Amino acid sequence: MLPIIFRDEHIVVIHKPSGLLVHRSEIDRHETRFAVQLLRDQIGRRVYPAHRLDRGTSGVLVFALDKETARLLGGQFERQEVAKTYLAVVRGHPPESGHIDHALSRRRDDAEWVGDKTSDEAQPAVTDFRCLATCELPHQVDRYPTSRYALVEVTPHTGRRHQIRRHLKHVAHPVIGDATFGKGRHNRLFQTLFGCHRMLLACARMQLTHPYTGEPLDLVAPPDGEFAAVLEALGWAGALPAVLRQ
């Protein structure tokens, strides 16, 4: 059963687990489990995803229960009216806070149509972050005798594909567990030390406006499972903002 955070006659919001695709993909054609299908079967209604989360990213995932609501919610995301807060465990010790303004080349969906008017030019992308906690482990991974890691809170202000993962890599603080943009040796250390086999990136909070009532929706999905276990093992659970603590 998918954990439901919020539901009314128009919207249903889940806490998506890491490793679950939102919908069917040509790249992962062997997969048979998708959030769209599982939630439809769980609540007995057709659902329409209002945005995307990468397969490895867990957290707040919003669905509409009809096409008109999907259109209205999609407009909020397109106009960048939705506030999103992510948590990530990254390599290194980043500064106390940072602002990343770095255009990103377009990464297309596997089935995305490419026409004469589409462009591969880099698109503006902006991400803010703040460092919540740091640690230094007595394990040599690179050329140094110890390895440094940090817990960061990330706020993307644009919605480019893989934006957070690519931006954190750009500032030399890749997400732990990211097989595409991260470092395999650090990923393997977390597998060995903590039994963590997921990407340590989660959409922990999303704030938007209900498209019909106008009420603010504050949707929260605190870290759970392997992510929560890593935070506990590193003594970082208390560093989370109060609203994100279990």
Residue 54 annotated to the active site: yes
- 123's tokens: 């698109």
Q: Which position has the token pair 């506990």?
A: 232
Among the options 8, 28, 54, 178, which is catalytic? 54
Active-site positions read 54
